[in-house]
Structure 1
Amino acid sequence: MGKAPRRNSSRWLPRLAPGLAALLAYRRGDLPGDLVAGVSVAAVALPVGIAYAQLAGFSPVVGLYASILPLLVYALFGTSRQLIVGPDAATCALIASALVPLAGGDSERYLSLSVALAGLTGVFCILASFIRLGALADFLSKPILVGFLNGISLHILAGQLGKLAAVPVTAPGVVPATLQLLEQYADYHWPTLLVGLTAFAVLLLSPRLLPRLPAALLALVVAAALVAVFGLDQRGVAVIGAVPAGLPELKLPDVPWHQVDELVAAALGLALVSFSSMMLTARSFAAKNHYEIDADREFAALGAANLAAALTQSFAISGADSRTAMSDAAGGRTQLAGVIAALSIAAVLLFLSEPLRFVPIAALAAVLIIASLSLLDVRSLVLLLRFSRIEFAFAMLATLGVVWVGAIKAILVVLILSLIRFVMLSSRPRVDVLGKVAGISGFHHLANHPEATTWPGLLLLRFNAPLVFFNANYFKQQVERAVERAGDGLHWLVLDAMPITQMDVTGYFAVEELRATLRRKGIQLAVAGRYQEIMAWRKAHALDNDDTLYFPTMRKAVKAFLERQAGGEAGQG
């Protein structure tokens, strides 16, 4: 009797909380690696959390709150063993773009809107998991996501330039912002600029000189030490100030209901972009370490983590590629690394918050600029230009969308670009004229194999897509053009049905119109492949018999044609 609940939990627990199930079956041999990885992640997450809170317009402590409970919750509900969640540069840029116009300069309203936005994002992610929208991770193509993140990178870079020298920079875009910064050189606050440049030097040199130490943490420690030792905060160098000690208070968000409708679009965009970005990271490390992740459960885990962010009065979070890479490099192999990282950050808030007050804003700007440059993926752009100019153009359009209309509105731009790209690929698929290649099984495209064997009077075609409403007319046009090119001696047209995985009513009528056109020209239409499916479909829809010939395979269709041709010639003889 007493063991029954354990057997039942063994069935439902992995489905409800995959991470918790993995932790309950933890292997002690993984502990040393997870312990080192957790502390290493915390060392990176501390400065990054503070810097990203600054980027999003919050008190530094809010960035640390966003790095504790959300990380613990994801460790319980996520299917990735190594993914670290928390403040993310792209997500924070989107939050600021969405909330600044709504808050009207009121910091309390800004935080309230942020909490509501995180809660809505979490709810939408969980709803998406219930209706199995994990496939949305594949909707934003790699080129469009690269272009979007490149745009976010430039957006962050432009926003941080003025903080290095403590001068206001209001010009939009990287180039105008840089020019404005150069024009104001007489107004530079030189101690602030010196601190910022020192932080830059540490960020650039420490990976080479001290590769085992987290560069961002070291840069902030050096900059804070300069401020504390030389009293630079008394000489006009802006610092983050006192950071309240203690853990965040757990409470339900105070939702500004009259503005919820204005947050819905931003929450939907955040859910899509943060999930797509998170899945790229999670899948990369899952492939590297030879395990599988569940996209729908990842959606739910991201949603639960964002609800946890709302409960701790912080902001929306996502997967963090740099911290995940740190965990993997330090030997992290399970969700326990994330748990240890969260507990380490909590310990800093409880016992070591006092030194944080000396961290200068210019050093945070340096960290954010380096982080923004890490988002800038020039290598992928070069590869896209080499492999596909169309994909390169889509990436550049996504980047221009962020620069031109802003980060939040650019989400709509990238969605439209994704839809256009999908329609382009699906509505204009390649139509192959096939032949038989000696020594290779099957039938192959003549453009790739000009030596392939063809037969007079026979045309073999392959339409490489489902046949539905948005490509049915294109299908008919392409087949009719192929028939015209074949000339007057054509007797049979054989259509390979294997790539046609789906056909709607519009596609069916396109085939019927094609059949009627071919009949008038004295050409026999034959369909090869998916024989049982086609017969069952026709029977289910009570379709009358027509003069179309159906064959299980292309090989049998060609054999039937050749036998009929041989029989006809024998009869004439």
Structure 2
Amino acid sequence: MDAVTKDAPNSLLHRFADWFPGLKLFTHYQRIWFKDDLRAALSVTAVALPVAIAYAQLTGVNAVVGLYSCVLPMLVYALFGSSRQLIVGPDAATCAVLAAVVTPLAAGDPQRHWQLVMTMTFMTGVWCLLASRFRIGVLAEFLSKPILMGLLNGVAITIIVGQFSKILGFRYQEPYLLERLLHTPQYLAQTHWYTLAIALLTLMFFILAKLMRPHWPAAMIAIAVATYVSWALSLSEDGVAVVGNIASGLPDFQAPVFELGLMRELVMPALNLAMVSFISMMLTARSFAAKNGYDIDADKEFRALGLANIAAAAAQGFAVSGADSRTAVNDANGGKTQLVSVISALIILVIILFATAPLAYIPASALGVVLVIASISLIDIKALWRLRKRDNGAFTLAVITLLAVLFIGVIPGITLAVLLGLFQFLKVVMRPDDQVLGINQKGILRSLGKSDKVKPIAGILIYRFNSPLTYFNAVYFKRRLLTRIADQSPPVETVIVDAVSCFSHLDLSVMAMIDELYRQLKTQGITLILAGRKRELLAWCEASGVDTGDGGIVIRPDLTMAVRMLQNYKAAVSQGLAPQVRKQDDPDEVLAHSLL
């Protein structure tokens, strides 16, 4: 009774720590960390402010919505996230996806556009929570790194072309990138020179700040200069587009749109957005976790991302993800814990409550420059090209994804990327590599290759299939094994299959194939031995009606044991020492007796 009472609080504490990794870290917070966390928080805020406003413009909502999207999600992730350095917030890829999905559905109604953005953000969070609940974070890895590279490059180029209209002061009439590029000469003729001048001024001060003070927030400095010039010269009266008035204080709550027809339109895009956001976040989180010497949990991160997105929707904001630029700023300034997110969120909240008036004069072209600079950081054509030398198949996948995003749109491109990732996975599982094993001079089993150090064992084929056997690759397994047997010289007398590498679960289709294979080999005078997973295989064979008794499939504990027992038994037979095997005898006992 005492033991049960004692274990109950421990179990409760363990569950509490499992749900709130960040809070667990705060309970062990060291005072010496605070100075570094405060410095990092100020730097993160300086970068996050202009970026959040710019991403709100990209999403198609009011600038202050970008700030709403920072506060509550950052606080939520600080409690539920397992990464100490990751900063969540608006992200270029997620905002581009939101805009691509919601804009056609909103039909030009700004209020409906905002509501649909919140709805899709909420649905994205729900998908993330479901993925975490069923521990299927691995599914997000269908988007392999080459596919994600192609996707991010395509999204970045799409954003850059889209921002040219704000930088040059015109409005695109075409929704797709290819058509916009084809009409470039006509659009260049519509350039608004004051707007372009402000954009160039922003770019100049950004470059100067980077060159003269690399550790200062260059984007904020450039935006501040452009805003001051816009206010001082009243450039809005000369046709320069600005953010416009932003009401201070917390937003009036409005519920997301839950119309059944619109929900159908948003279900799959929200799933795609959840996967892209999670994978992008995990690449950032894992890299900084490895750098700082700790591990993160993929399913906990999926849950934290889901809760952060639901929090963003509740705060009247839009979808968030792991922000690589702000995370890098956090790490570079020595941020130790998620207290950085808490402090930064509180500073942004103060700005929302009391200091939104100056934001009204921010030129849209200055925000366009910030978005272009942020998007350029996503483009990595050199890394894409290096894939061509390392892995031509991965390079092809990346290029297909890139072209799909550019020419058929962001959402179809993401859908294609997910399908490509799924097909890539199925190809590996359905058509895996296989090997024939031999023995080296030290008596160790190794794969046969071009080297002469590993020799095949006369009369014995040792086969390894490098994928779990299931109903959709069972026929391929059988075909490959029979091909290997036919190619073997001298003729094969015994086939030993490495069961550890391919028998992972009971599949009745697989067991039926094994029974057919055993009978086919038996007609050729070939013995079939399965090596490894002896207890599981005996149980599965019994459940499937596959014979493992006298004259049936032989099952051994492992490869080495199978080879040794077979060789010793052959040696005993050649010397007339092997006993007559009776039907009631256990084959292992007979062989063990022959070794004595």
* 1:483 counterpart = 2:485: yes
Correspondence for 1:393: 396
1:94 pairs with one of 77, 94, 97 = 97
TM-score w.r.t. the length of structure 2 is 0.90
Work out whether residues 161 and 177 of structure 1, in 8 Å CA contact, stay in contact via their aligned partners in 2: no
1:497 pairs with one of 471, 496, 499 = 499
Shift in Å, 1:235: 2.0
Q: 1:5 and 1:484 mapped to 2: Cα distance?
A: 62
Work out whether residues 199 and 219 of structure 1, in 8 Å CA contact, stay in contact via their aligned partners in 2: yes
Shift in Å, 1:488: 5.8
Q: 2:377 and 2:287 mapped to 1: Cα distance?
A: 17
Correspondence for 2:227: 224
Correspondence for 1:272: 275
Correspondence for 1:460: 462
**Structure 1 residues 540 and 520, CA gap change in structure 2 (3 angstroms):** closer
Q: Which residue identity is paired with 1:309? A: A
2:32 pairs with one of 20, 29, 45 = 29
1:2-45 CA distance string (max 9 Å, x none):
x9998776343212322223223322111111111111111111
Q: Which residue identity is paired with 1:489? A: P
1:562 pairs with one of 545, 555, 567 = 567
Work out whether residues 177 and 407 of structure 2, in 8 Å CA contact, stay in contact via their aligned partners in 1: no
Shift in Å, 1:183: 4.3
Structure 2 residue matching 1:332: 3-state secondary structure: coil
Work out whether residues 494 and 525 of structure 1, in 8 Å CA contact, stay in contact via their aligned partners in 2: yes
Shift in Å, 1:299: 1.7
Correspondence for 1:302: 305
Structure 2 residue matching 1:66: 3-state secondary structure: helix
Aligned length in residues: 569
The sequence identity of aligned pairs, in percent, is 42
Correspondence for 1:80: 83
Structure 2 residues not aligned, in runs of 5+: 1-5, 578-596
Q: 2:178 and 2:407 mapped to 1: Cα distance?
A: 13
Shift in Å, 1:258: 5.0
Correspondence for 2:447: 445
* 1:380 counterpart = 2:372: no
Correspondence for 2:21: 18
1:553 pairs with one of 555, 558, 564 = 558
Work out whether residues 427 and 470 of structure 1, in 8 Å CA contact, stay in contact via their aligned partners in 2: yes
Q: 1:38 and 1:5 mapped to 2: Cα distance?
A: 38
Shift in Å, 1:422: 0.8
Q: How does 1:526-537 map to 2 (within 5 A)?
A: 526-537=529-540
Correspondence for 2:355: 352
Shift in Å, 1:96: 0.6
Structure 1 residue matching 2:469: 3-state secondary structure: coil
**Structure 1 residues 448 and 332, CA gap change in structure 2 (3 angstroms):** farther
Structure 2 residue matching 1:50: 3-state secondary structure: helix
The worse-fitting range, judged by mean Cα deviation, of 226-235 and 139-148 is: 226-235
Q: Which residue identity is paired with 2:559? A: M
Q: 1:181 and 1:143 mapped to 2: Cα distance?
A: 31
**Structure 1 residues 560 and 143, CA gap change in structure 2 (3 angstroms):** same
1:102-145 CA distance string (max 9 Å, x none):
11100111111112222222222222222222223323211111
1:79-103 CA distance string (max 9 Å, x none):
2212111111111011111111111
Q: 1:113 and 1:383 mapped to 2: Cα distance?
A: 40
Work out whether residues 122 and 304 of structure 1, in 8 Å CA contact, stay in contact via their aligned partners in 2: yes
Q: 1:160 and 1:395 mapped to 2: Cα distance?
A: 24
**Structure 1 residues 182 and 207, CA gap change in structure 2 (3 angstroms):** farther
Q: Which residue identity is paired with 1:264? A: V
Q: 2:120 and 2:334 mapped to 1: Cα distance?
A: 35
2:125 pairs with one of 101, 122, 132 = 122
1:447-495 CA distance string (max 9 Å, x none):
2534312222122211111111121111111111111111463211111
1:527-564 CA distance string (max 9 Å, x none):
22222332233345554335222222222222233334
The worse-fitting range, judged by mean Cα deviation, of 157-166 and 336-345 is: 157-166
Shift in Å, 1:505: 1.8
**Structure 1 residues 541 and 388, CA gap change in structure 2 (3 angstroms):** same
Work out whether residues 112 and 256 of structure 1, in 8 Å CA contact, stay in contact via their aligned partners in 2: no
Structure 2 residue matching 1:449: 3-state secondary structure: coil
Q: 1:421 and 1:14 mapped to 2: Cα distance?
A: 37
Q: 2:215 and 2:489 mapped to 1: Cα distance?
A: 71
**Structure 1 residues 397 and 185, CA gap change in structure 2 (3 angstroms):** closer
Correspondence for 1:430: 433
Q: How does 1:40-55 map to 2 (within 5 A)?
A: 40-55=43-58
The worse-fitting range, judged by mean Cα deviation, of 537-546 and 526-535 is: 537-546
Correspondence for 1:246: 249
TM-score w.r.t. the length of structure 1 is 0.93
Shift in Å, 1:567: 3.9
Shift in Å, 1:298: 1.7
Work out whether residues 248 and 313 of structure 1, in 8 Å CA contact, stay in contact via their aligned partners in 2: yes
The worse-fitting range, judged by mean Cα deviation, of 146-155 and 257-266 is: 257-266
Work out whether residues 531 and 558 of structure 2, in 8 Å CA contact, stay in contact via their aligned partners in 1: yes
Shift in Å, 1:232: 2.4
1:240-288 CA distance string (max 9 Å, x none):
1222222334565454455222222222222222122112211221121
Q: 1:500 and 1:185 mapped to 2: Cα distance?
A: 61
Work out whether residues 511 and 544 of structure 2, in 8 Å CA contact, stay in contact via their aligned partners in 1: no
Q: 1:178 and 1:254 mapped to 2: Cα distance?
A: 34
**Structure 1 residues 522 and 255, CA gap change in structure 2 (3 angstroms):** closer
Work out whether residues 249 and 312 of structure 1, in 8 Å CA contact, stay in contact via their aligned partners in 2: no
**Structure 1 residues 19 and 4, CA gap change in structure 2 (3 angstroms):** same
Q: 1:454 and 1:76 mapped to 2: Cα distance?
A: 58
Shift in Å, 1:497: 1.5
Q: 2:573 and 2:217 mapped to 1: Cα distance?
A: 81
Q: 2:208 and 2:177 mapped to 1: Cα distance?
A: 25
Q: 1:29 and 1:195 mapped to 2: Cα distance?
A: 44
The worse-fitting range, judged by mean Cα deviation, of 193-202 and 108-117 is: 193-202
Q: 1:5 and 1:570 mapped to 2: Cα distance?
A: 66
Structure 1 residue matching 2:70: 3-state secondary structure: coil
Structure 2 residue matching 1:525: 3-state secondary structure: strand
**Structure 1 residues 206 and 180, CA gap change in structure 2 (3 angstroms):** farther
**Structure 1 residues 205 and 182, CA gap change in structure 2 (3 angstroms):** farther
1:311-368 CA distance string (max 9 Å, x none):
1211111111111111111111111000011111112223332222221111111111
The worse-fitting range, judged by mean Cα deviation, of 147-156 and 532-541 is: 532-541
Q: 2:7 and 2:134 mapped to 1: Cα distance?
A: 31
Structure 1 residue matching 2:435: 3-state secondary structure: strand
Structure 2 residue matching 1:508: 3-state secondary structure: helix
1:178-210 CA distance string (max 9 Å, x none):
553344433211121121122223334432321
Work out whether residues 158 and 172 of structure 1, in 8 Å CA contact, stay in contact via their aligned partners in 2: no
Q: How does 1:313-352 map to 2 (within 5 A)?
A: 313-352=316-355
Structure 2 residue matching 1:187: 3-state secondary structure: coil
Work out whether residues 515 and 546 of structure 2, in 8 Å CA contact, stay in contact via their aligned partners in 1: no
Correspondence for 1:146: 149
The worse-fitting range, judged by mean Cα deviation, of 212-221 and 336-345 is: 212-221
Structure 1 residues not aligned, in runs of 5+: none
Q: 1:301 and 1:455 mapped to 2: Cα distance?
A: 54
Correspondence for 1:63: 66
Shift in Å, 1:510: 2.0
**Structure 1 residues 252 and 177, CA gap change in structure 2 (3 angstroms):** closer
Work out whether residues 309 and 316 of structure 1, in 8 Å CA contact, stay in contact via their aligned partners in 2: yes
Q: 1:71 and 1:429 mapped to 2: Cα distance?
A: 43
Instruction: Give the superposed CA RMSD.
Output: 2.4
2:189 pairs with one of 177, 186, 192 = 186
The worse-fitting range, judged by mean Cα deviation, of 341-350 and 420-429 is: 341-350
1:420-460 CA distance string (max 9 Å, x none):
10111111111111111234x74222125343122221222
